[in-house]
């Protein structure tokens, strides 16, 4: 009898990831993640309900499902209903924990870090679940079949030989679960617009905090900052941001400042869907000396022409911010 040498760990890993196909349920997770990323960042789709439809399972089901798939790779480890409920429960726990962890990092709780962290964590769980199943005998691996799922759900909720009262309670439970799911999806897809409509507009220092703003500027030198815009207008909005450098003089008699000189510094536009906030890196560069104020103007779709200048342009903006500076 010939004894074949056992596979080394490296050979086993190579065999799992290069000789075994990804199971259908995990392959669907990968495809769903890719589609979700496209709808988040593709301008044509990120303003449509498709984005929410794809993002909902990514937030409330997929992370927990992949974790449970890694912990329970065997067929029959846990029941189908338990697997689904645990997937939802763990997902609800995982997403806030990611946000909590990001709060203590330089990236903060923003869209990009959350998406990247969630995708990376889910990918790790997918690979681990794939490995855990692949090292099992084929007949012991958990697998997903639509017909089998339907049969399992029927057996879980409507087992044969059940009494009439118990069967009625099972039907009521099924209807209640469907109602909860439909209501949740409806609330997300059709949010109530009874709240106040407004836009956030703020500037941050180079460490993304409300501090460390440049107060002394040198011509042609870069001063890194961040500009934040948040859309709470219950619709997609294309904002235009302008920065201006000003030289003002204070009149002690009228107790007010007068604009002596106002020159354009930078201008750019961005489109945000409802409830989206974006923090944009910005380099403040001043071309000449003599300025003592930097003005940040946010326009909400309506931007005046170049003939509107000075205080008239500032008053025409939707939001405005300014920094007082000194030049060297």
pLDDT digits (tens, 9 = 90+) for 263-299: 999 999 999 988 889 999 999 988 888 889 999 999 9
Reported as a single tens digit per residue, the pLDDT across 246-271 is 999 887 777 778 899 999 999 999 99
Mean pLDDT of the chain: 82
Which tokens is 247 given?
A: 């030289």
CA end-to-end distance (rounded Å), the chain = 88
Mean per-residue pLDDT for 146-162? 58
Mean per-residue pLDDT for 320-328? 84
Q: Could you please state the CATH topology (level 3) that the domain comprising 198-327 is classified under.
A: Immunoglobulin-like (2.60.40)
In sequence order, the β-bridge partners of residue 204 are: 226
CB 225 within 8 A of CB 211: no
Instruction: Give the confidence band of 4 by pLDDT, cuts at 50, 70, 90.
Output: very low
Which tokens is 68 given?
A: 């449970």
Task: Quote the pTM value.
Answer: 0.52
- Spatial distance between the Cα atoms of 181 and 183, rounded to a whole number of angstroms: 5
* Backbone torsions φ then ψ of 28, nearest 5 degrees: -65, -35
Q: At which residue do the structure tokens 């789709």 appear? A: 45
Instruction: Give the confidence band of 68 by pLDDT, cuts at 50, 70, 90.
Output: very high
Reported as a single tens digit per residue, the pLDDT across 164-181 is 666 677 667 667 766 766
Instruction: Report the relative pairing of strands 216-217 and 326-327 from DSSP bridges.
Output: parallel
CB 72 within 8 A of CB 60: no
Q: Rounded to the nearest 5 degrees, what angle is found at the Cα of 57, between the Cα atoms of 54 and 59?
A: 105
Which helix (H) or strand (E) segment holds residue 246: the answer is: strand 237-251
Instruction: Give the confidence band of 226 by pLDDT, cuts at 50, 70, 90.
Output: very high
Where exactly does CATH 2.60.40.10 map onto the chain?
A: 198-327
**Per-residue pLDDT, 308:** 92
CB 123 within 8 A of CB 26: no
**Per-residue pLDDT, 192:** 55
Q: At which residue do the structure tokens 């354009």 appear? A: 264
Helical segments of the chain, H only: 9-19, 24-41, 49-60, 62-71, 80-102, 111-134, 146-157, 164-189, 310-316
- Spatial distance between the Cα atoms of 69 and 281, rounded to a whole number of angstroms: 39
**Per-residue pLDDT, 114:** 87
Write the CB contacts of 132 (distance below 8 Å, at least 6 apart in sequence).
Answer: 69, 70, 73
**Per-residue pLDDT, 195:** 62
């Amino acid at each position: 009898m010939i004894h074949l040498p056992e596979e080394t760990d490296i050979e086993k890993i190579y065999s799992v990831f290069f000789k075994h196909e990804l199971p259908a349920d995990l392959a669907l997770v990968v495809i769903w993640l890719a589609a979700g990323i496209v709808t988040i960042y593709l301008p044509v789709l990120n303003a449509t309900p498709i984005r929410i439809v794809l993002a909902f399972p990514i937030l409330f089901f997929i992370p927990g499902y992949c974790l449970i798939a890694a912990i329970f790779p065997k067929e029959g480890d846990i029941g189908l209903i338990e697997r689904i409920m645990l997937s939802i429960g763990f997902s609800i726990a995982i997403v806030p924990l990611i946000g909590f962890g990001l709060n203590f990092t330089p990236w903060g709780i923003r869209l990009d870090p959350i998406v990247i962290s969630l995708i990376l964590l889910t990918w790790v769980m997918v690979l681990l679940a794939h490995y855990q199943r692949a090292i099992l005998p084929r007949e012991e691996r958990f697998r997903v079949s639509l017909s089998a799922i339907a049969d399992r759900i029927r057996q879980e909720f409507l087992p044969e030989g059940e009494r009439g009262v118990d069967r009625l309670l099972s039907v009521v439970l099924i209807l209640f679960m469907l109602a909860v799911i439909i209501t949740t999806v409806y609330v997300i897809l059709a949010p109530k617009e009874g709240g106040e409509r407004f836009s956030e507009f703020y500037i941050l220092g180079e460490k993304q905090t409300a501090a460390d703003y440049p107060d002394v500027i040198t011509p042609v030198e870069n001063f890194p900052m961040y500009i934040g815009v948040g859309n709470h207008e219950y619709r997609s909005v294309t904002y235009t941001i302008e920065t201006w450098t000003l030289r003002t003089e204070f009149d002690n008699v009228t107790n007010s400042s007068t604009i002596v000189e106002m020159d354009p510094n930078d201008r750019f536009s961005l489109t945000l869907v409802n409830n989206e906030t974006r923090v944009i890196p910005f380099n403040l560069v001043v071309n000449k000396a003599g300025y003592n104020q930097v003005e940040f103007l946010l326009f909400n779709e309506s931007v005046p022409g170049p003939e509107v200048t000075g205080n008239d342009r500032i008053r025409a903006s939707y939001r405005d911010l300014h920094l007082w500076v000194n030049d060297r």
